[in-house]
Amino acid sequence: MPTIAILGTFDTKGEEHAFVAEVLKRRGHQVLLIDVGTGAPSTIQPDVSREQVAEIAGMDLHAALHQQDRGASVEFMSQAAPLVLVHFFNEKKIDGVISLGGGGGTAIATAGMRALPFGFPRVMVSTLASGNIQHYVGVQDITMIPSVVDIAGINRISREVFTRAAGAIAGMVEEEISQEALRPVIAASQFGNTTDCVGMARDQLERKDYEVLVFHATGTGGRTMEALIEARKIYGVLDITTTEWADELVGGVLTAGPTRLEAAARTGTPSVVVPGCLDMVNFHAPETVPEKFNGRLFYKHNPQVTLMRTTPEECEQLGKILAEKLNASKGPVAVLLPLKGISVISCEGQAFYDPGADQALFASLRSNLADRIEIIELEEEINSPVFAEACVNKLLALMK
């Protein structure tokens, strides 16, 4: 019988979580009530008290409560909740998790949920679910349900929302995912300027019975790809489009953060890496570009996207950064360089054609990459069939 963890601040939201527990029990599920409150005593009897939460997490609850600061208490439980949920997950004692909360409760519960692996059923009913939820969800598959009304008792609206939420988590844990005929998964990074290359590579890999997941290199795409690699869901990486590092370095809007390229290196996942689209930094409409970039070379991709050409100095730095990340690789990795253009618009005759900047990038990679990392240079544009095939063949060789 599946067991669903109900994580909540039972000092203020005990009645609501107890309601969800009763709905789940009527459906034949076991529940595990985990109290992460830090205020008044729990209003319901938990299966795991806040003291036990702290003990499992190896943290000092009394020291946190002594501060008598709500923010510090929320931060404490936001650190403890991931450790506790992972503990019960590793012990195979929970099959899903649900929580109800306002600002503090959502912060605590989703911190715990983000620590669980991709695919694990997670439902968060929140007063914040109708706004920007990226901070709470991250790149995880957490289901957020707007509470519609405040989570303050059971009424005609909350009763329906909570019942549907309980049904959602119950359905998630009841449904089995077919594992038949699953093919090895390849992760590929793509931008509009590298679509042709990735499309050709994907076709070739799928003909060889691989499943290819394509991630748009818009910041969220890169972070999601990194998370799946970290979770060891990926068999090989075709990182054609590392453009997010240009935004991270220069200050564009599509950065994936400073850990981009680290997951494959850390897990030893075979990888082919290309400096695709490192010729561009992304901004929104032209009027949003910071004044400090006045005088730079820009290209209007569309009314909402403005691209800025990277300079030779920036390209040299990007080469060093990529080399540093790849030098930490525990598994096989190779770098492929398309010497005639790293994006559609950096090829000869196009808006961002700048041989000096590209050569600075290539030279920096050559001089900073460890000797054990193979560099393959082709007199091709990034979207040529020859280059796409070379990327595929090298990845297949590395995966052997």
CA atoms of 15 and 45, how far apart (whole Å):
11
Residues in contact with 63: Cβ distance below 8 Å, sequence separation at least 6, in sequence order:
none
- Alpha carbon separation from 10 to 24, 100, 164, 330, 363 (Å, rounded): 17, 10, 21, 45, 59
Q: How many residues does the chain have?
A: 400
* CATH 3.40.50.12020 domain span(s) along the chain: 3-174
pLDDT of residue 268: 97
- 235-273 in b/e burial notation, b at 16+ Cβ within 10 A? bbbbbbbbbbbbbbbbebebbbeeebbbbbbbbebbbbb
CA atoms of 149 and 126, how far apart (whole Å):
9
pLDDT of residue 180: 62
Residue 160 burial by Cβ neighbours in a 10 Å radius (0-12, 13-18, 19+): exposed
The two three-digit tokens of residue 175, written as one number: 């449904």
182 has which bridge partners?
A: none
Nearest alpha-carbon partner for 255 in 243, 271, 273: 243
> What is the fold, at CATH topology level, of the domain defined by 3-174?
Rossmann fold (3.40.50)
CA atoms of 163 and 168, how far apart (whole Å):
9
125 has which bridge partners?
A: 100, 145
Choose the CATH number for 185-399 among 2.60.120.380, 3.40.50.12030, 3.90.1210.10, 3.30.479.30: 3.40.50.12030
CA atoms of 206 and 215, how far apart (whole Å):
16
pLDDT of residue 39: 85
DSSP-derived secondary structure for 212-261: EEEEE-SSHHHHHHHHHHHTT--SEEEE-B-THHHHHHHT-S----TTTT
Judge contact between 79 and 54, C-beta under 8 A: no
pLDDT of residue 181: 64
End-to-end CA distance of the chain: 41
Q: Looking up tokens 């990459």, which residue turns up? A: 369
* CATH 3.40.50.12030 domain span(s) along the chain: 185-399
pLDDT of residue 302: 87
pLDDT of residue 13: 92
Per-residue pLDDT tens digits for 177-197: 776 668 999 999 999 999 999
The residues of the chain scoring below 70 in pLDDT are 179-181
pLDDT of residue 82: 97
CA atoms of 379 and 389, how far apart (whole Å):
14
